[in-house]
C-alpha cells in the first residue's frame, strides 16, 4: 500500500515528440485515480512510466517512499492490467495467475492458495485449467485482473482494460472493478479515454490533454466545475453546449447576448470574476440537461425562456436529444429532455435555459479558463 | 465484378498439364527408388520396375518353352540311363550378388577362390540378363578359363593305371601346376596332396593320354578308367568334340576337372548354377571349343523315351519383378560400408547444429527484436548482409581458421561453424516482431528479467518458427556435403553425404548401392517432412526457403 508521487515528469521521445510535459500528480494511498483524456494526451505514457516500461526523460516518480526512476519494473512491486489482457497464450489460467508468484519463488502451496482465492473472488474457479484462448473476453479480463490481484502489489495500474469489451460486459466489469477496489483498498491508477468509466470508477479524475494535466478532482467537481473549456467539453455526454455571445452587466444581473439571438440572464453562483470580463466573444457553457422544453417544464427562477427551432431529434428511449437552433447562432444547441416532451423537427418551441450550473469561458479557445469558479479553486484538488 | 468461369475443357486440360508437369518432378526420385531395388546388371536397362530373368520360381519344375517338364538323367553303375526326378529350379540367393569386382560367393556366402587361393571376382561371371535371355536361362562363364578354375580336379590313386598314363609324369605335372606357381600352395605339394586331394593325385592331361583316350569318345556315360570315373559331360552327338580326348580347356599340363562339383559354382543374375543339377556350364560365343551358340543340358524331355541334349534356348524363362532388398541389406550391414557409423555421425552433427542454432538464433533474434540498444538496427542489417556472401567465398578462410584451431577432422569443425546463422536469426526476429509487446511487458512486471522473458514467454510463443528453423537446419545439416568433405574427410567423422561418394569409384559406380544408401539417407528427411509439413510451409511464409 503506497501513494505515488509524480513530479515534473517529462517523456521525450527520440524523434523529438514530447508526450508528457512535466506533470505533477499525487496519487494518494488507497485511491482509485483515473487518468482520462483523448488519444495522445500522454495518459498511457504516464502510466507506463509509473510501471517502468518507459524510461523517464525528466522528473521523478516515487512509489511509497522510494524514487523508482531507475528501478526495474519487476522490483517496483506494482501490477498492471493491459488493454489486450496480455495473457500468456501458452499457459493455463492457473499458470498465468501463478507466474508472477513463481518468479518470486513463493512455495507451491502458498501459490495454490492465493490463486484459488483470487479465482474465487473473480469467479474463475472452473476456468483454471483452460488456456486463455478458450475464454471469453470478460473472462480473459478477469484472469488479467486475477494475475494482478494474486501478487498483492503496492499499486495496480490499468491501461484501458475495458476498451476491448462490448458495452454490456464493460458495465459488468466496471462493477467488478469497483467491488475489487472496495475490497482490496489498494492504490489504483486507471487509464481510460472513456469518460463514463472515469466518472463511475474514479475517486478522483485526472483529465489530461497534450501531455499536460488539465484538472485533477473528484468526478463531481470535474463535472460541475471544469477548470477550463477543455475539461468542460471532454466530460459529459452529450457534450456541453458552447454558445458564443457578449457578456454585459446590468446592476447585479449579468446578461449574455447570444450571437444572432436572444439575451439571457446568468444565474450561476460564482459570478465574481465576470465583472472584469465583460464584452464580446465570451462563451457560455451549458450542459444539455439544463435545457428544457418550456411547454412541459416550468421556467425556474434561474432560467430564461427563449424560442428555438427544432432541427433534429435523437430518441434514446427514456430521454431524447433535441438539436435546436437559437436565432442565428452558428452552432446548434442540444437539449436533453424526457422523450415524452413531444416536439417535431421544424417546429419552433420555447426552451428554458437554466444557467444555475452554466459556466462562462473567457473566449472560444480550446483551453479557455472557466470564469465562473469559486474563489481559490485549485486545478488539482 | 466476377471473372468469367473457364470452361470445363480448359479446366481439365490445364489441370492435366499441370499434374503431368508435376509428375515429371518425381521422375528422378522414382529412378532412384527403382535403381535401389535393381541388380547391378540391370541399372541401365529401360525397365522401370526391377525385373529378373530366371528359370522360374524356386522349386518349380524346369520346363521347355513348349511346357514339357525335364527329368534328370540317372546313370546307374552299370551304365544304364534311367529317368530320374523332375529337374526343378533352384535359384541362387540374390543376396550374394554384389557389385562387379565383389567376390563371387556361393549361396551360403563363402567366397569362391581359385586353385591358388585367389578370390574370384563376380565380373568374371556372366550375368547379363539380356544375353542370358537370348542364349537360354542358364548362367555361363564369360571366360572359359574361369570355369576351369572352379571344377574340382579329378583325382586318382597312386597306383592308377590307364592307357598313356604315366604315374610319375602325372605327379610331376600336378606338382608343377599346383605348387610351382605363386600362390597359396607354393612349395607345399605333399601337404596339398594330403589336405586337398586326400592323398590322391590329380589326374593331369598329357598329350599321350589325349591320343590314347581318343577311341573312348562318343559315349554318353562317364569313362571309367581303373575304377576312376572320368567325367564326360557331353554325351550328345552334337557335342561330340567335347569328348574327353578333345578337351583342350584342359590343356596338356592342366588337371582333368570333374564338373560334378557339389556346391554352386557361379551365379548369374541371381541364378546359381549347380553342377549336381545336371546343368552344364555354358560357354560363351568366344569359347574356341564351341560349335553351337547355345549350350545344352542332358535330360529326359517330357515323355520322350531317351535323354537328349536340351539347348538352353529351349528352356522356358520367366521374367518377373524381383526387388533386390539385398542392396539395402548390404548398405546397412556390410562392414566395409560402415553406413551406421556415418549415419550416427550425421545424426550427431545435425542434432548438435540444430540445438546450437536454435539457441544462438533465438537469443540473437530476441536481442534484435525485443530489446532496445544503440545501433541495433545497423548491426542487424550488417548481420543480414552476410546472407549475401556466397558460402564458397568463405570456405577457404574458414578452412584456414579451423586449421589454426586444430579442428580439422573433428566434430568441432563440423558443428561450430554452423552453430549460428544469419538466416535463422532473421527468420526468428521477423516472427518475434509479430508477438504482442504487452506479453513481454506483463512478464517484466510479473517479475521476469530479460532471460526469463526469453525463456518463459518468447521461446514458447515462437514454437512454430523454432520448429521451422529446426527442420530447415536439420535438413541442411543432414545433407551438407561440400563443407564436411573439405573439413573432415576422415572416416571417424565422415558424414553420410560424403560417405555416399564411396559407392562411386574412378572406374565405375555401384548405382544400386548408391541409390539404396541415398534413400536410406533421405528417410529421416521424408519423415520429418511428413510430420513437419505445415512448418515447412510456415518457413516459406516466414522468410523464403533457404536450401
Give A80's contacts in chain B (Cβ within 8 Å). 441-442, 445
| Separation of CA A340 from chain center | 30
* Cβ proximity of A287 and A244 under 8 Å: no
| Chain A residue at shortest CA distance from B452 | A103
Q: Which residues contact A49 (CB under 8 A, 6 or more apart)?
A: A9, A11, A20, A55, A56, A61
Residue A12 dihedral angles phi and psi, to the nearest 5°:
-120, 120
What is this structure's pTM? 0.66
d(CA B140, CA B137): 9
Is A82 in Cβ contact with B444 (below 8 Å)? no
Lowest average pLDDT, out of A43-47, A176-180, B276-280, goes to: B276-280
Structure confidence at residue B376 (pLDDT): 92
| 3-state secondary structure (DSSP) of residue A343 | coil
- Pairing type for strands A241-250 and A253-258 reads antiparallel
DSSP A123: T
CB neighbour burial string for B44-77, b if at least 16 within 10 angstroms, e if fewer: eeeeeebbbbbbbeeebbbbbeeebbbbbbebee
* pLDDT reported for residue A232: 93
pLDDT (0 to 100) of residue B378? 93
Residue A77 has pLDDT above 60, yes or no: yes
Phi, psi of A272 (to 5 degrees): -60, -30
CA separation for the pair B522, B528 (Å, rounded): 10
pLDDT of residue A62: 93
pLDDT given at position A351: 92
pLDDT value at position B293?
Answer: 33
B464 near B535, Cβ under 8 Å? yes
Closest CA to A31 of A164, A197, A190, A138: A190
pLDDT in tens, A315-345: 988 899 999 998 888 889 999 999 888 888 9
pLDDT at A216: 94
C-beta of residue A150 within 8 angstroms of C-beta of residue A101:
yes
Complex ipTM:
0.82
Q: Which residue pairs from B475-479 have beta carbons closer than 8 angstroms and sit at least 24 positions apart in sequence?
A: B475/B525, B475/B528, B476/B546, B476/B547, B477/B349, B477/B350, B477/B353, B477/B354, B477/B418, B478/B346, B478/B347, B478/B350, B478/B521, B478/B524, B478/B525, B479/B525
Spell out which chain B residues touch chain A, with contact meaning CB-CB distance below 8 angstroms: 436, 438-439, 441-449, 452, 456-457, 460-461, 463
Nearest to B445 among A78, A84, A85 (CB): A78
| C-alpha to C-alpha distance for A159 and A54, rounded to whole angstroms | 14
Residue A291 contacts residue A333 (beta carbons within 8 Å): yes
CA distance B296 to B312: 5
Of B445, B449, B456, the CB nearest to A79: B445
Query: Cβ separation of A103 and B446 shorter than 8 Å?
Result: yes
**A110: phi then psi, degrees, rounded to nearest 5:** -65, -40
B interface test, pick of A45, A55, A77, A88 with most B CB neighbours within 10 Å? A88
pLDDT of residue B63: 78
Q: What is the pLDDT of residue B79?
A: 60
Chain-chain contact of B444 with A74 (C-beta, under 8 angstroms): yes
Residues within 8 A of B (CB atoms), A 55-94 only: 72-74, 76, 78-80, 82-90
Tell me which of A68-72, A136-140, B285-289, B460-464 is least confident.
B285-289
Positions in chain B short of pLDDT 50: 91-101, 106-109, 113-118, 123-129, 131-150, 218, 220, 232-254, 259-296, 544-547
The number of CA neighbours under 13 Å toward the Cβ of A31 is: 20
Cell output for B494: 565422415
Interface test with A, best of B375, B442, B443 (most A CBs within 10 A): B442
Residues of B in contact with A74 (CB under 8 A): 444-449
CB atoms A103 and B444 under 8 Å:
no
User: Mutate which of B434, B436, B444, B445 to test chain A, going by most A C-beta atoms within 10 A?
Assistant: B445
Radius of gyration of chain B (CA): 35
Average the pLDDT over A195-213 and give the result: 91
> What is the distance in angstroms between the Cα of B458 and the nearest Cα belonging to chain A?
10
A289 vs chain B: nearest CA distance in angstroms? 41
- For A74, the closest of B436, B439, B447 (CB atoms) is B447
What pLDDT is recorded for position B210?
57
| Cβ neighbour number for residue B110 with a 10 Å cutoff | 11
Amino acid at each position: 500500500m503506497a501513494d505515488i508521487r509524480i513530479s515534473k515528469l517529462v517523456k521525450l521521445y527520440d524523434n523529438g515528440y514530447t508526450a508528457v510535459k512535466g506533470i505533477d500528480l499525487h496519487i494518494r494511498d488507497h485511491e482509485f485515480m483515473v487518468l482520462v483524456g483523448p488519444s495522445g494526451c500522454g495518459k498511457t505514457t504516464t502510466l507506463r512510466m509509473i510501471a517502468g516500461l518507459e524510461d523517464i526523460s525528466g522528473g521523478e516518480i516515487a512509489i511509497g517512499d522510494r524514487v523508482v526512476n531507475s528501478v526495474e519494473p519487476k522490483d517496483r512491486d506494482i501490477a498492471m492490467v493491459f488493454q489486450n489482457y496480455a495473457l500468456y497464450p501458452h499457459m493455463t489460467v492457473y499458470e498465468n495467475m501463478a507466474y508472477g508468484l513463481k518468479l518470486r519463488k513463493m512455495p507451491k502451496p502458498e501459490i495454490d492458495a492465493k490463486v484459488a482465492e483470487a479465482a474465487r473472488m473473480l469467479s474463475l474457479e472452473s476456468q483454471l485449467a483452460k488456456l486463455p484462448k478458450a475464454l471469453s473476453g470478460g473472462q480473459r479480463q478477469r484472469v488479467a485482473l486475477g494475475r494482478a490481484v494474486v501478487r498483492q502489489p503496492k499499486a495496480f495500474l490499468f491501461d484501458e482494460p475495458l476498451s476491448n469489451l462490448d458495452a454490456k460486459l464493460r458495465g459488468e466489469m466496471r462493477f467488478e472493478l469497483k467491488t475489487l477496489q472496495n475490497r482490496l483498498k489498494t492504490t489504483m491508477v486507471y487509464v481510460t479515454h472513456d469518460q463514463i468509466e472515469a466518472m463511475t470508477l474514479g475517486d478522483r479524475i485526472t483529465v489530461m490533454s497534450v501531455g499536460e494535466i488539465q484538472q485533477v478532482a473528484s468526478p463531481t467537481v470535474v463535472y460541475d466545475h471544469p477548470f477550463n473549456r477543455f475539461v468542460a467539453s471532454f466530460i459529459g455526454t452529450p457534450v456541453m453546449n458552447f454558445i458564443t455571445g457578449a457578456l454585459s452587466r446590468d446592476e447585479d444581473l449579468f446578461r449574455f447576448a447570444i450571437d444572432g439571438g436572444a439575451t439571457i440572464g446568468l444565474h450561476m453562483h460564482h459570478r465574481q470574476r465576470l465583472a472584469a470580463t465583460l464584452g464580446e466573444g465570451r462563451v457560455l457553457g451549458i450542459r444539455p440537461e439544463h435545457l428544457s422544453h418550456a411547454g412541459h417544464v416550468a421556467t425556474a427562477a434561474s432560467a430564461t425562456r427563449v424560442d428555438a427551432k427544432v432541427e433534429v431529434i435523437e430518441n434514446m428511449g427514456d430521454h431524447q436529444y433535441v438539436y435546436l437552433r437559437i436565432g442565428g447562432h452558428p452552432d446548434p444547441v442540444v437539449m436533453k429532455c424526457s422523450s415524452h416532451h413531444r416536439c417535431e423537427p421544424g417546429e419552433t418551441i420555447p426552451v428554458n435555459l437554466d444557467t444555475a450550473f452554466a459556466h462562462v469561458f473567457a473566449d472560444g479557445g480550446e483551453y479557455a479558463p472557466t470564469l465562473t469558479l469559486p474563489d481559490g479553486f485549485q486545478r488539482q484538488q | 465484378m466476377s471473372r468469367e468461369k473457364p470452361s470445363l475443357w480448359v479446366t481439365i486440360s490445364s489441370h492435366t498439364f499441370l499434374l503431368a508437369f508435376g509428375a515429371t518432378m518425381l521422375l528422378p526420385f522414382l529412378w532412384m527408388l527403382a535403381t535401389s531395388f535393381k541388380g547391378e546388371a540391370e541399372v541401365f536397362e529401360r525397365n522401370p520396375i526391377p525385373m529378373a530373368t530366371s528359370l522360374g520360381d524356386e522349386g518349380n519344375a524346369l520346363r521347355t518353352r513348349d511346357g514339357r517338364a525335364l527329368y534328370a538323367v540317372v546313370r546307374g553303375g552299370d551304365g544304364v540311363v534311367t529317368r530320374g526326378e523332375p529337374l526343378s529350379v533352384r535359384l541362387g540367393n540374390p543376396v550374394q550378388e554384389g557389385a562387379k569386382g565383389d567376390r563371387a560367393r556361393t549361396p551360403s556366402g563363402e567366397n569362391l577362390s581359385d586353385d591358388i587361393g585367389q578370390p574370384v571376382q563376380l565380373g568374371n561371371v556372366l550375368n547379363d540378363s539380356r544375353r542370358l535371355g537370348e542364349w537360354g536361362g542358364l548362367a555361363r562363364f564369360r571366360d572359359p578359363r574361369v570355369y576351369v578354375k572352379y571344377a574340382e580336379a579329378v583325382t586318382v590313386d597312386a597306383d592308377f593305371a590307364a592307357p598313356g598314363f604315366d604315374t610319375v609324369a602325372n605327379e610331376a605335372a600336378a606338382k608343377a601346376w599346383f605348387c610351382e606357381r605363386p600362390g597359396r600352395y607354393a612349395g607345399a605339394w605333399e601337404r596339398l596332396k594330403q589336405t586337398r586331394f586326400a592323398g590322391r593325385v590329380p589326374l593331369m592331361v598329357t598329350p599321350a593320354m589325349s591320343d590314347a583316350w581318343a577311341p573312348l569318345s562318343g559315349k554318353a556315360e562317364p569313362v571309367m578308367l581303373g575304377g576312376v570315373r572320368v567325367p564326360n559331360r557331353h554325351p550328345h552327338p552334337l557335342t561330340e568334340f567335347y569328348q574327353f580326348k578333345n578337351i583342350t580347356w584342359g590343356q596338356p599340363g592342366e588337371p582333368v576337372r570333374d564338373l560334378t562339383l557339389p556346391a554352386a559354382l557361379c551365379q548369374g543374375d541371381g541364378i546359381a548354377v549347380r553342377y549336381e543339377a545336371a546343368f552344364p556350364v555354358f560357354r560363351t560365343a568366344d569359347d574356341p571349343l564351341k560349335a553351337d551358340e547355345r549350350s545344352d543340358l542332358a535330360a529326359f524331355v517330357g515323355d520322350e523315351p531317351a535323354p537328349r541334349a536340351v539347348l538352353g534356348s529351349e528352356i522356358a524363362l520367366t521374367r518377373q519383378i524381383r526387388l533386390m532388398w539385398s542392396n539395402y541389406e548390404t548398405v546397412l550391414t556390410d562392414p566395409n560400408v560402415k553406413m551406421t557409423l556415418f549415419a550416427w555421425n550425421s545424426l550427431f552433427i545435425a542434432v548438435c547444429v540444430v540445438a546450437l542454432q536454435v539457441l544462438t538464433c533465438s537469443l540473437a533474434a530476441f536481442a534484435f527484436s525485443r530489446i532496445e540498444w544503440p545501433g541495433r538496427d545497423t548491426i542487424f542489417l550488417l548481420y543480414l548482409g552476410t546472407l549475401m556472401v556466397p558460402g564458397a567465398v568463405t570456405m577457404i578462410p574458414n578452412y584456414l581458421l579451423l586449421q589454426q584451431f586444430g579442428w580439422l577432422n573433428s566434430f568441432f569443425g563440423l558443428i561450430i561453424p554452423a552453430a549460428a546463422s544469419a538466416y535463422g536469426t532473421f527468420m526468428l526476429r521477423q516472427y518475434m516482431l509479430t508477438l504482442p509487446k504487452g506479453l513481454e511487458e506483463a512478464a517484466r512486471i510479473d517479475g521476469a528479467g530479460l532471460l526469463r522473458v526469453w525463456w518463459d514467454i518468447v521461446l514458447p510463443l515462437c514454437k512454430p518458427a523454432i520448429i521451422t528453423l529446426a527442420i530447415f537446419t536439420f535438413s541442411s545439416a543432414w545433407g551438407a556435403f561440400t563443407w564436411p568433405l573439405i573439413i573432415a574427410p576422415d572416416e571417424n567423422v565422415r558424414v553420410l553425404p560424403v560417405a555416399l561418394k564411396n559407392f562411386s569409384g574412378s572406374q565405375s559406380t555401384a548405382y544400386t548401392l548408391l541409390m539404396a544408401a541415398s534413400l536410406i539417407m533421405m528417410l529421416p528427411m521424408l519423415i520429418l517432412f511428413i510430420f513437419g509439413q505445415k512448418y515447412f510451409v510456415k518457413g516459406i511464409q516466414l522468410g523464403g526457403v533457404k536450401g
